Structure 1
């Protein structure tokens, strides 16, 4: 494989590794938010922001962890026939199917980017009592789809390397 392809895969996977490891700790943030919610309800002064903040944090946890999950190969896969293939055949199958993933993520990224721009332009807020601005979570969603797209391309490069009998 060319040097630029190896560098691309290493760089993307290093970024997604760090972002994914950071995202793992967002679970503790969610737990803290929900614990605070419980404490304030016991004190009969419920915080209005806790449910939405927990939901936003869960979205960040889930979407920022997705490229890391894809990188580790822990994503859900139908192994009825796939597990019986040799590594080269698996790589060929993965190289074909990753184009569907790239298309899907491209469409999602396009929609997320448009929604984020709209949110910035209009000062979009959630129609609840707390009324938080929506652009911060939309930026995170857009960044997560972008990282997922980069990771899918890195997987394609890895699959091509395996098909050619090389390792990255």
Structure 2
């Protein structure tokens, strides 16, 4: 059983590490979009897509980089008391707080699934059955949601990225939870 837990931790950490290292360079994509926005506003006609595309790039950068941030321990903490605690006490506290985070992420994931189903033209109350129906062919995509801006992009791609990022964050939290359990049992992580 211990080898399965260690294998799960290794796989999730490897996936989120690789995705995080790739997404880290998304800041250059964002900079390029904002640079083009400045150049086009100064010398040409302003581009309609730059502001909203910069927002989408920032969401992708933030949401897909979150699991990597948790894995590297670079998330924000109140270090007033935590920094002076022993590793065992930190593990107990992290075990408790990661459970709250996982509950929050599960609620957020359900909301993202509902929002994505809505953006694909589903107005019902069971988004999971809608996605299952899409896979089996029982459901089909309806009138897709578009932004209300002048550019009017479809919103489902960024919402799908949000689902992916929240799911990866949930898996990383589970990995961190299992690491804390191993630490409490006296195992090396």
Q: For 1:86 and 1:48, how far apart are their aligned partners in 2?
A: 54
Residue 44 of structure 1 and its aligned partner are, at CA, apart by: 3.1
Residue 3 of structure 1 and its aligned partner are, at CA, apart by: 1.1
Q: Does 1:5 align with 2:5?
A: yes
Q: Does 1:146 align with 2:167?
A: yes
Aligned to 1:85: 85
Deviations 1:23-60 (A, max 9, x none): 11110001111111111112231110001000100000
Q: For 1:77 and 1:41, how far apart are their aligned partners in 2?
A: 40
The one of 163, 174, 179 equivalent to 1:158 is 179
The one of 151, 165, 180 equivalent to 1:130 is 151
* Partner SS state of residue 48, structure 2: coil
Q: For 1:148 and 1:34, how far apart are their aligned partners in 2?
A: 28
Aligned to 1:58: 58
Residue 97 of structure 1 and its aligned partner are, at CA, apart by: 1.2
Deviations 1:85-112 (A, max 9, x none): 1101110111111110000000000100
Q: For 1:26 and 1:149, how far apart are their aligned partners in 2?
A: 22
Q: For 1:153 and 1:116, how far apart are their aligned partners in 2?
A: 24
Using structure 2 for the length normalisation, give the TM-score. 0.86
Deviations 1:96-135 (A, max 9, x none): 1111000000000010011111111230000010000000
Q: For 1:98 and 1:119, how far apart are their aligned partners in 2?
A: 30
Correspondence 1:16-55 to 2 at 5 A:
16-55=16-55
Deviation larger for 143-152 or 119-128: 119-128
Regions of 4+ moved over 6 Å: none
Q: For 1:53 and 1:31, how far apart are their aligned partners in 2?
A: 11
**RMSD value over aligned CA atoms?**
1.0
5+ residue gaps, structure 1, are none
* Partner SS state of residue 46, structure 2: coil
